[in-house]
Amino acid sequence: MEPPPQPATGRAGGAPGAADDAGGTVVVVRRPAPALLLVLCTAGTLAACAGEPEAPGDVRVRAGGQDITAQPTQYCLDGEGQRYETTPPVVEVSPDTAIRLTVPEGIAERGWQVQVFDESLQEVIGEVDVPQGTETFDGINSSDVLPPAFYLVVVEDKGGDCGEFSAAWPIGFLRAGGDLGT
């Protein structure tokens, strides 16, 4: 596991691609067995039974001819911050390639932004605000970022059931001459 990023606002802690200082340890969540799920649904105690997703969903990334999905590295579930060990996807791009990011509807409704990190997810080098309610954002170009290797981290706006803890999806981008150190 890589060392945690150092957020721009002086907050410490977090995990690679983390959006904030949530602290804590990495948590592995397993889905309940179908029989247990049925019992919980019958009892009416599981939000997922009412059609609520267990996770915020994946972020879709389109750049050039590539179309991939990114899984969250952290998100809020039932008022508790969850962290996951996932490997962010890496997209090889040519200069001046439009990058299109699409988030799930629920994330768009709550609001989101894009944080731009260096090639090692250590330093925030920029932020892009996305208008609330926007599901698809295509205002970023592969040449907008100075280093040839960088990460875009889609970050859900804070303030939900987990307070300062929010969902985050890191995606690596690599132009000619770049190296993400992987």
Q: What is the mean pLDDT of residues 66-80?
A: 92
Q: What are 95-136's pLDDT values in tens digits?
A: 999 999 999 999 999 999 999 999 999 999 999 999 999 999
Q: Are 7 and 127 in contact (CB under 8 A)?
A: no
Give dist(CA 134, CA 78) in Å, integer.
Answer: 24
Average pLDDT value over all residues in the chain: 76
Is 47 or 149 the better-scoring residue by pLDDT? Answer: 149
124: buried, middle or exposed (CB in 10 Å: 19+, 13-18, 0-12)?
Answer: middle
Please give the structure tokens belonging to residue 122. 């250590």
Confidence of residue 21 (pLDDT cuts 50, 70, 90): very low
The answer on pLDDT for 36 being more than 80 is no
Give dist(CA 105, CA 134) in Å, integer.
Answer: 8
Confidence of residue 17 (pLDDT cuts 50, 70, 90): very low
49: left (phi over 0), alpha (psi -120 to 50) or beta: alpha
Q: What are 119-178's pLDDT values in tens digits?
A: 999 999 999 999 999 999 999 999 999 899 999 999 999 877 888 889 999 999 999 766
> In this prediction, what percent of the chain has a pLDDT beyond 70?
68
Give dist(CA 103, CA 77) in Å, integer.
Answer: 17
> What DSSP character marks residue 58?
P
Instruction: Tell me the longest C-alpha to C-alpha distance in the chain.
Output: 57
Find the angle CA(53)-CA(59)-CA(63) to the nearest 5 degrees.
160
Domains of the chain, start order: 54-174 (2.60.40)
